[in-house]
Chains A and B, each alone.
Chain A
Amino acid sequence: MQHEITASLIDHLRAKTGMNVVWVFDGVKLPVVKPFITVEQMPSSESVVSKMRDAARSIYRFQVGLHTQSMTERTRKQDEIKRIFVFDTFDLLDTTQIPAPVIGSFCVDLTGITPISPESVSDTTNYHKVYFDIEIDVNYYG
């Protein structure tokens, strides 16, 4: 499910924003051209929600970074992405098939928006960044 949810998030963000969306993996090289979005997996929480172990719950977490060229661009696109996370329903894609069919849908909980400044003013490549913390709450039935 991790792969399906990540791919679905990236696909939706690409389609809605028209921006380059990068799946952050070990050793990834970030694009030079801004703006772009990064999607990075964070630790999930797992729990069994019924005594007979026939239902379980996972909370998938991501930090989504918006990297822009200017403060104006950052704040405008930040609002655009915030609205996507707050109001949109995301198609869940079955990534085991090509092309991936839609097999369901999910909503996202936006839990935080954090702008990050570079440590040094000379570090211009790290200017104008903001991170969104999101969660996707999934229940499974055995």
Chain B
Amino acid sequence: MRKLADASLAGDVDKITETYVRQMANQSAAMAPVKDSYLRNSIMASPQQESKGVWTYGSNLPYAQRQEYEHRSHKGFIRKSVWRNRGAYREAVKKRVKKAGG
């Protein structure tokens, strides 16, 4: 029973994480500079699962990092969405863990 509960908790945390990462990726893509749509599309397509409960997103384009820190009007398009969602994500995970009696 314990193993079953642990698996269910891990699965739920993974789902919560995926939901927030996809949401952050969509928001980042919407805030990214648009010269062509390569940067935006690369962010939209980027969310991927590294392991259970661990998801990443970003861009594989060589200029993405520089734009993130130095674009005149759109800098911080990745960090802003992380900052915006960080608190709510932590609360959602905390709520699920509490429900499991953690």
Q: Does residue B102 face the partner (Cβ distance < 8 Å to A)?
A: no
**Is there contact, CB below 8 Å, between A43 and B83?**
yes
A90: B residues at CB distance < 8 A: none
Q: When the two chains form their complex, are residues A116 and B83 in contact, meaning their CB atoms are under 8 A apart?
A: no
Determine if B69 and A114 form an interchain contact, defined as CB atoms under 8 angstroms apart.
yes
> What chain B residues lie within 8 Å of A131 (beta carbons)?
69
For residue B36, give the distance in angstroms from its CB to the closest CB of chain A.
15
Name the interface residues of A8-64: CB closer than 8 Å to any CB of B: 42-43, 45, 47, 59, 61, 63
CA distance A59 to B80 in the complex (A): 13
Secondary structure class of chain B's binding surface, majority of residues = helix
Asked if A119 meets B63 with Cβ closer than 8 Å, knowing A45-B87, A47-B87, A63-B69, the reply is: yes
Please report the C-alpha to C-alpha distance between residue A47 and residue B76 in the assembled complex, in whole angstroms: 21
Complex: A117 Cα to B68 Cα, angstroms: 12
Residues of B in contact, count (CB < 8 Å):
11
* A94 proximal to B (CB < 8 A): no
Residue numbers in B under 8 Å from A119 (CB-CB) = 63, 66
How many angstroms from the CA of A45 to the CA of B70 in the assembled complex? Answer: 21
Q: Are A61 and B83 in contact (CB under 8 A)?
A: yes
Total contacting residues, chain A, CB less than 8 A = 15
A133 touches B87 (CB 8 A): no
CB distance from B87 to the nearest CB of A (A): 7
Please give me the residue from chain A that is nearest to B62 by CB atom: A119
Contact check, B66 vs A133: say whether CB atoms are below 8 A apart: no
CB <8 Å contact, A42 and B76: yes
A43 and B76 contact, CB distance less than 8 A: yes
Q: How far is the CA of A59 from the CA of B86 in the complex (A)?
A: 12
Task: Please measure, in the bound complex, the distance between the C-alpha atom of A65 and the C-alpha atom of B65, giving whole angstroms.
Answer: 14
Taking Cβ atoms with an 8 Å cutoff, the residues of B that contact A are 63, 65-66, 69-70, 76, 79-80, 83-84, 87
Pairs A-B, 10 closest by C-beta atoms: A131-B69, A116-B66, A116-B69, A119-B63, A43-B80, A45-B83, A42-B76, A119-B66, A116-B65, A63-B69
